[in-house]
Amino acid sequence: MAQADQQIQNDNGSNVRADLNNNFDALFSNNSGSSEPSVTTAFMWFADTTNDALKIRNAADSAFITVGTLSETNLGLAVKASPAFTGNVTIPAGTVSSLPLSFTGDTDTGFFKNADNEFTIVTGGTRRAHFDTNGITIRDRKALRFRDTSNSNFVAIRAPDNAAADITLTLPSSDGNANDVLQSDGSGNLSFAALPQAVPTGSVHLMAGNNVPSGYLKCNGQAVSQTTYAALYQVIGATYGQTATTFNLPDLRGEFVRGWDDSRGVDSGRDFGSAQGHEFFSHNHVITDPGHSHSINDPGHFHNVAYTNSDNGDGVIEESGTGFNGFEPTENATTNISINLNHTGISIQNQGSEARPRNIAMMYVIKT
C-alpha cells in the first residue's frame, strides 16, 4: 500500500530516490490505503482497503466513484454476455418520464419506484399497473387477459366504467356443483349456489300468439312421453291421465281456470285438476208492473122479457086475450164498456248454451 503527493522535491540523492520510489509505489498500487489520497487528480485510481473497493476519480476531480469490489471476480460486475448477478442490485427510483430500468430502443417502457414498497409498470410512457402491499392494481380500466392454450383467444376481466366505491370479490373455497352459479353475500364474498329455475316446470302461462315457444307444450290434453318429458311428469304425474309410457297434459282449450279450493270450503269436494261442468245458482226473477187498464166495448144487445096473458099479479107483461105467452125483446141499448188485451212488455227467455263473462281467446301453454 502506498500513497504519494505526486511531487518530487529537490533534495539529496537518497531522498530524491525515496521520493521517486514512493510515487511509483503509489502509482503501481492504485494509491491504495484506508483513506482517500490527500492529493488527487482527475481519473486517478484509488484502492480503498477499508471496504475492498476499487475507485476512480471523477472528471471534475471532486469525488471518487466506486468501480467494483477487488476481491470478487470481474470486480463483482456482470460481463456483457449472459451476466449472472449476485448480491443486491439497486437502481434509482426514477419517474414515469425517466425510467431507471427500460429497454434499448424502447425507453418509454420499463419500471420505476412510485412510492415505498411499490413499483409501477410503464408502457408507452403511461402507467399501466403497479404492485404494492395490497396486491396488483391494473389502472385505467385495462383488462386482465387469460389466453387459451393456442394463444389465439382470451378471456378478460376488467373494472366497470365508474365504480361507486372500492369492491373486493373473494372467490369461494370450492368449485361447487354442476350448474351452480356464483352469488355474493353483499360484502363481496362469493359462493356457489344452485341456479334457481326462472320458470318452474309445470307452470301454466297464457300466450297472446298461437305459436308454442321452445320449452313449452300446448295445454290440449295430448298424451306425451314420460321419458322425454320426465321433469314435467315428475310434477303433474297422472293428474290428467296416463298410460304405461305416457301421461296427459291438462286440456284448457275453451276453459276458464278456477283456483283449487284446497280445504277452504268455497268449492269443496273437488280433487286437484278435476273438471267441473257449468251450473246456475238457484235464483228468482222479480217482475214489477207499473200498472195497466182493460177497456170493454159493447156494440149493442137485447134482453128478452118473458110474458103471459094471465093477469095474475106476477109483474110480467101481459097481452089481451088468453092462452098466449112468450118473450118480448127490450129496446136495443149499449153499455159503452169494452175490454182490450194489454201487454206489460216483460218477457223471460232462455238464450245460449252457457253462462260466461266477457272474454278474449288466448292459448294456454305449460313449461316442460
Among 213, 222, 253, 221, which Cα is nearest to 364's?
A: 253
Is 208 a residue whose pLDDT tops 80? Answer: yes
Position 109 scores a pLDDT of 97
Domains: count for the chain: 3
Residues 68 and 113 in one domain: no
* CA distance linking residue 9 with residue 33, whole number of Å: 23
Is 320 a residue whose pLDDT tops 60? Answer: no
Residue 355: inside a domain: no
Position 252 scores a pLDDT of 97
Residue 137: inside a domain: yes
Residues 272 and 229 in one domain: yes
Residue 226: inside a domain: yes
Domain that holds residue 130: 101-157
Is 254 a residue whose pLDDT tops 90? Answer: yes
Position 310 scores a pLDDT of 52
98-147 pLDDT, tens digit each: 999 999 899 999 999 999 999 999 999 999 999 999 999 999 999 999 99
Backbone angles phi, psi at 345, to 5 degrees: 85, 5
In terms of phi and psi (left: phi > 0; alpha: psi -120 to 50; beta: otherwise), the region of 236 is alpha
Walk across the sheet containing 135-138 and list its strands.
101-103, 106-115, 118-123, 126-132, 135-138
Q: What percent of the chain has pLDDT over 70?
A: 80
Q: Are 29 and 22 in contact (CB under 8 A)?
A: no
First to last CA, the chain: 98
Min mean pLDDT across 247-256, 311-320, 330-339 is at 311-320
Is 285 a residue whose pLDDT tops 70? Answer: yes
Residues 245 and 128 in one domain: no
Residue 6: inside a domain: no
Is this structure's pTM higher than 0.75?
no
Using alpha carbons, list the distances in angstroms from residue 103 to 93, 123, 129. Answer: 16, 11, 18
Q: What percent of the chain has pLDDT over 90?
A: 54
| Average of per-residue pLDDT across 185-192 | 93
Instruction: Give the domain-ending residue among 76, 92, 122.
Output: 76
Residues 271 and 129 in one domain: no
